[in-house]
A = this chain, B = another copy of it.
């Protein structure tokens, strides 16, 4: 079954691929059928996330922003190699902008893992860590490794 049929069936709409925020390559192929997807923020159209978990952003809001960041990742993959070429979700690194006393980064990152589970039926290896701040005051940024068919 095509990933695009899965998206349609689950009512998941991919946003347009986000604009680049600097001098880098959004998706880089390497090694044996692997791609590295550059860190994607969580802004989609008018939905602009600003602030830190434990301060301006709640865990529930953070989960939604993490899902949005992964939607941006998928949209970048779609635009560069096509989602049906993905064989496996290898690694997620979830950067969570955090107040020094915020300790629930994994609960927040689960918002992104849940999207991968819905779309690909599997979740990658993962780290979810607290960052003192992120570009544009984003609450979440996510980078990914996928394996291609």
Contacts and interface: CB of A to CB of B under 8 A. Distances in A.
Chain copies in complex: 3
A45 interface: no
A126 B90 contact: no
Given A32-B31, A127-B38, A127-B143, A25 B122 contact: yes
Q: Give chain A's interface residue range (CB within 8 Å of chain B).
A: 35 or more
Contact of A36 (B33, B91, B137): B91
A128 B100 CA distance: 19
Interface of A: 21-28, 30-34, 36-39, 52, 88, 90-93, 95, 97-107, 109-110, 113-114, 117, 122-137, 141, 143, 145, 147
Given A31-B31, A131-B132, 19 more contacts: A22-B126, A24-B113, A25-B123, A25-B125, A30-B91, A30-B145, A30-B147, A32-B32, A36-B91, A38-B125, A39-B126, A39-B127, A39-B129, A95-B127, A99-B132, A104-B135, A105-B135, A129-B141, A130-B131
